[in-house]
């Protein structure tokens, strides 16, 4: 009881303690939720209609498409540029499919499994032609071939113990097919949406009549053009109010789909110093002596020289060599060399030794049987195979050794530029020298190959040539000095204003880029600038802030960036498009000035005498349906077509503003076409109107894109 009373006496304190504990618990949950939200946000590649796709999901889509590209192209590896292109295509496809799905859901549109199967059964989609399921006789898609594959694939999956190579190959084909099937569904949904939209465009009788006349009624005009180039820029004055007014008039043309940034930057390219070049010149002179020495190990000399062109004793065509090297071959005799010489095109020092020149086939058809090992037993097997081939077909003997012995073609393009090991070099050289219809043994380091050549085609000149190509690379000392000098400059100029004021004095150039998008993948066209791109688009980076120094490019660039402006709005700012707006204002003012000069012209002859006018030109077959091509200015003028269509025969019209000039013209003659607006012509014209309207309406995707609130954060990850 005393204890209970004691607890009651401390009630207020206990309540406070419990309250604090409860607050701590709630706060902990809030922190955990916020932390989880931030983690999720950091993993978000992008959003469409507020729905996020995280990095794992996006990478799965990229991997899916990468597998398709590799399978369809036969490539084992992709370059960074190819991979980046795939990421771009995957993102664009993802965004478009999400937008179409969103609209289709609201309209109640869907694609059923039965519809997809019907498209496949009838071979209606162009995508089906890209599959390996084709009729061998017609080359067209064959659904029976597809069904046979799917049956075989299921049987293989149900039977354990299948060869790993077969499983991998079947999986590749199956995954490729599922990708095609998915895309057929997406394309069909997009087609439904487009068809629905197209049905809303109908050409009414008035529009049909006008369109028919616009296409069939022609006029011939006499034309005088006064180009804007005839007026000097100094003759017109552009004020800030002029720019603002034109910007507002063209406002919709400056719509933005993504945030942009304005930057100023200094890009320092690191190049070899004179000492570096002298060192390379000395080393190349030594290489030339080593290559020219009697009994020189050519492969070893080229390998140790640091050449960017590897040596292979397999002769290659001229086109397989760098162009500057190929251009030297005619001036070098076999067994001699040239160099060192400078190649200005790629800033390299070069030595070329032509070992031999010969005429060899560009393609060879051959069969082969391989025997593992080079010991006595392997040699006996090879000898017995050669003997057996005198009395039996090649493929039948090959099957006895679990090989196909099928006929294959090898072409120069398959091995030129590739890094060949000793075995491949030996085999290719042997095939190059082997006569048609003969059989021989080719001894490799770990095997013996029996080869038979069945055909040799397209004899071409080939070269066994050793090339030592050394770029004028900078040394570590040069890199360090360049970095230290630039680092000292940046450290001494702590504001953007100081950097701009002092850059030229220190030998640096401040460059500018307006309206930069995050999906450009690099900064100022320099590779390996992902860190700089992240900094530029980071929401915490403030305008006027200076970045760290980024080592980028092929480690041969130093980059520092100043964030000069942010635009997270829906339109480009006037400052971003000022040059374009100013050119439009200048054109308007020049047009006004030329029109004033035309005021006193009562006829075409008088218009031809005003300052800057070109000679009178005759333009035939002018219709409202297509823009007039004005040969004197070298361009098409849409506005002129409309003005001519309104004018009557003999009428003189002046002051018509075009894209390249101001025009005056007189209608010389008018001709109505012989075609009749019968039922067939009406239907054709209606279709044309609908197609034109649908083409204009195809911009609906851009409008939907803007409504979808698309956010692209790929720059954070790639």
Establish if 208 belongs to a structural domain: no
Q: Predicted confidence band at 20 (pLDDT cuts at 50, 70, 90)?
A: very low
How far apart (Å, rounded) are the C-alpha atoms in residues 317 and 222?
59
Segments forming the whole domain that contains residue 391:
275-471
Same domain, 231 and 284: no
How many residues appear in the chain?
Answer: 718
**Is the pLDDT at 363 greater than 60, yes or no?**
yes
Same domain, 266 and 230: no
> Which H or E run includes 201?
none
Cβ-in-10-Å burial (0-12, 13-18, 19+) of 355 comes to middle
Structure tokens at 195: 């068809």
Number of domains in the chain: 3
Same domain, 443 and 352: yes
Q: Helix or strand or coil: residue 667?
A: strand
Same domain, 302 and 430: yes
CA 639 to chain centroid, in Å, comes to: 36
Establish if 364 belongs to a structural domain: yes
Q: What mean pLDDT comes out for the span 181-198?
A: 88
Q: Predicted confidence band at 430 (pLDDT cuts at 50, 70, 90)?
A: very high
Q: Are 489 and 546 in contact (CB under 8 A)?
A: no
How far apart (Å, rounded) are the C-alpha atoms in residues 578 and 364?
62
Share of the chain above pLDDT 70, in %: 88
Q: Are 340 and 284 in contact (CB under 8 A)?
A: yes
Same domain, 445 and 529: no
Structure tokens at 502: 């002092």
Q: Which residues contact 88 (CB under 8 A, 6 or more apart)?
A: 519
Domain end: 520, 541, 567, which one?
A: 567
Establish if 444 belongs to a structural domain: yes
Establish if 122 belongs to a structural domain: no
What pLDDT sits at residue 4? 34
- Our separate counts of H helices and E strands in the chain read 24, 19
> Which H or E run includes 715?
none
Establish if 695 belongs to a structural domain: no
Q: Are 325 and 469 in contact (CB under 8 A)?
A: yes
Sequence-ordered alpha helix ranges (H) in 405-552: 412-415, 422-433, 476-492, 496-502, 530-537
- Rg of the chain (C-alpha set): 37
Establish if 52 belongs to a structural domain: no
What pLDDT digit, counting tens, does each position of 646-697 carry?
A: 899 999 999 999 999 999 999 999 887 666 656 666 566 566 666 666 565 5
**Is the pLDDT at 604 greater than 50, yes or no?**
yes
Q: What mean pLDDT comes out for the span 498-525?
A: 94
How far apart (Å, rounded) are the C-alpha atoms in residues 119 and 146?
13
Least confident of 202-211, 246-255, 514-523, 528-537: 202-211
Using CA atoms, how far residue 76 sits from 130, 304, 478, in Å, is 19, 29, 38
**Is the pLDDT at 704 greater than 80, yes or no?**
yes
Domain end: 471, 503, 531, which one?
A: 471
Residue 347 DSSP symbol: T
- Annotate 516-579 with DSSP letters as a single string: EEGGG-SBTTBSS-HHHHHHHH-TTPPTT-B--PEEETTTTEEEEEEEEEEE-SSB--TTTTHH
Same domain, 317 and 386: yes
Same domain, 296 and 392: yes
**Is the pLDDT at 225 greater than 80, yes or no?**
yes
Establish if 24 belongs to a structural domain: no
How far apart (Å, rounded) are the C-alpha atoms in residues 682 and 315?
67
**Is the pLDDT at 81 greater than 70, yes or no?**
yes
Could you tell me which residues are beta bridge partners of residue 629? 636
- The domain that holds 349 is classified in CATH as 3.10.50.40
Domain end: 518, 540, 567, which one?
A: 567
What pLDDT digit, counting tens, does each position of 120-173 carry?
A: 999 889 999 888 898 877 888 999 999 999 998 888 887 877 777 778 888 999
> Which H or E run includes 195?
helix 164-198
Same domain, 237 and 317: no
**Is the pLDDT at 418 greater than 90, yes or no?**
no
- The domain that holds 546 is classified in CATH as 3.10.50
Same domain, 457 and 535: no
Could you tell me which residues are beta bridge partners of residue 164? none
Could you tell me which residues are beta bridge partners of residue 266? 560
Other C-beta atoms closer than 10 Å to the C-beta of 694 total 17
Could you tell me which residues are beta bridge partners of residue 516? 261
Q: Are 222 and 618 in contact (CB under 8 A)?
A: yes
Same domain, 557 and 623: no
Q: Predicted confidence band at 215 (pLDDT cuts at 50, 70, 90)?
A: low
**Is the pLDDT at 184 greater than 70, yes or no?**
yes
How far apart (Å, rounded) are the C-alpha atoms in residues 444 and 422?
8
Q: Are 287 and 305 in contact (CB under 8 A)?
A: yes
Cβ-in-10-Å burial (0-12, 13-18, 19+) of 92 comes to exposed
Establish if 496 belongs to a structural domain: yes
What pLDDT digit, counting tens, does each position of 7-19 carry?
A: 334 444 434 444 4
How far apart (Å, rounded) are the C-alpha atoms in residues 77 and 90?
18
Q: Are 88 and 129 in contact (CB under 8 A)?
A: no
In three state form, how does the secondary structure of 364-392 look? EEEEEEEEECCCHHHHHHHHHHHHHCCCC
Instruction: Give backbone dihedrals phi and psi of 570, rounded to 5 degrees, phi first.
Output: -100, -5
Same domain, 426 and 305: yes
Using CA atoms, how far residue 402 sits from 267, 373, 393, 446, in Å, is 61, 16, 15, 19
Same domain, 583 and 558: no
């Amino acid at each position: 009881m005393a204890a209970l009373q004691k607890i009651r006496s401390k009630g207020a304190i206990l309540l406070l303690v419990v309250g604090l504990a409860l607050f701590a618990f709630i706060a902990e949950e809030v922190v955990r939720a916020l932390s989880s939200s931030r983690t999720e946000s950091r993993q978000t590649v992008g959003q469409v209609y507020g729905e996020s796709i995280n990095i794992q999901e996006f990478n799965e889509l990229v991997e899916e498409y990468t597998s398709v590209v590799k399978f369809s192209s036969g490539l084992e590896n992709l370059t960074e540029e190819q991979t980046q292109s795939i990421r771009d295509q995957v993102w664009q496809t993802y965004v478009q499919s999400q937008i179409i799905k969103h609209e289709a859901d609201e309209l109640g549109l869907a694609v059923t499994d039965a519809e997809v199967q019907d498209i496949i059964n009838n071979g209606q989609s162009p995508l089906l032609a890209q599959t390996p399921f084709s009729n061998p006789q017609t080359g067209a898609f064959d659904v029976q071939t597809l069904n046979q594959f799917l049956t075989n694939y299921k049987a293989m999956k149900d039977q354990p113990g299948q060869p790993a190579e077969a499983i991998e190959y079947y999986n590749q084909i199956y995954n490729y097919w599922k990708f095609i099937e998915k895309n057929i569904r997406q394309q069909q949904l997009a087609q439904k949406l487009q068809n629905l939209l197209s049905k809303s465009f109908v050409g009414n009788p008035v529009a049909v009549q006008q369109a028919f006349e616009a296409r069939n009624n022609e006029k011939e005009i006499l034309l005088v053009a006064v180009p804007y180039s005839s007026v000097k820029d100094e003759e017109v004055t552009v004020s800030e109010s002029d720019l603002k007014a034109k910007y507002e008039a063209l406002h919709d043309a400056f719509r933005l789909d993504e945030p942009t940034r304005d930057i100023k930057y200094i890009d320092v390219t690191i190049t070899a110093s004179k000492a570096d070049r002298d060192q390379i010149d000395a080393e190349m002179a030594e290489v030339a002596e080593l290559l020219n020495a009697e009994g020189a190990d050519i492969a070893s000399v080229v390998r140790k020289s640091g050449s960017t062109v590897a040596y292979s004793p397999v002769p290659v065509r001229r086109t397989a060599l760098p162009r500057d090297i190929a251009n030297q071959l005619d001036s070098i005799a076999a067994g001699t060399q040239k160099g060192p010489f400078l190649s200005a095109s790629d800033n390299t020092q070069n030595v070329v030794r032509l070992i031999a020149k010969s005429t060899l086939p560009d393609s060879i058809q051959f069969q082969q049987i391989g025997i593992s090992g080079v010991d006595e037993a392997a040699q006996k097997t090879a000898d017995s195979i050669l003997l057996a081939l005198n009395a039996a077909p090649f493929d039948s003997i090959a099957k006895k050794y679990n090989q196909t012995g099928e006929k294959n073609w090898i072409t120069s393009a398959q091995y030129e530029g590739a890094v060949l090991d000793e075995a491949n070099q030996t085999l290719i050289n042997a095939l190059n020298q082997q006569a048609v219809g003969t059989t021989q043994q080719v001894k490799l380091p770990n095997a013996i190959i029996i080869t038979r050549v069945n055909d040799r085609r397209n004899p071409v000149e080939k070269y066994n040539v050793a090339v030592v190509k050394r770029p004028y690379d900078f040394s570590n000392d040069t890199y360090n000095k360049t970095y230290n000098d630039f680092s000292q400059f940046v450290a001494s100029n702590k504001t953007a204003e100081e950097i701009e004021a002092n850059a030229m004095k220190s030998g640096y150039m401040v460059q500018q880029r307006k309206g930069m998008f995050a999906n450009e993948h690099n900064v100022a066209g320099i590779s390996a600038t992902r860190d700089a791109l992240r900094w530029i688009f980071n929401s915490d980076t403030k305008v006027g802030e200076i970045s760290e120094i980024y080592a980028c490019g092929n480690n041969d660039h130093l980059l520092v960036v100043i964030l000069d402006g942010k635009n997270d709005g829906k339109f480009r700012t006037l400052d971003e498009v000022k040059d374009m707006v100013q050119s439009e204002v200048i054109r308007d003012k020049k047009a006004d000035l030329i029109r004033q000069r035309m005021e006193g012209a009562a006829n075409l002859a008088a218009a031809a005498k005003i300052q800057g006018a070109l000679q009178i030109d005759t333009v035939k077959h002018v219709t409202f349906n297509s823009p007039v091509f004005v040969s004197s200015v070298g361009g098409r003028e849409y506005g002129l077509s409309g003005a001519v269509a309104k004018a009557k025969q003999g009428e003189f019209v002046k002051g018509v503003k075009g894209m390249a000039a101001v025009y005056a013209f007189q209608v010389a003659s008018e001709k109505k076409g012989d075609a009749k607006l019968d039922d067939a012509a009406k239907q054709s014209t209606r279709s044309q109107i609908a197609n034109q309207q649908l083409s204009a309406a195809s911009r609906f995707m851009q409008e939907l894109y803007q409504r979808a609130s698309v956010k692209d954060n790929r720059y954070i990850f790639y």
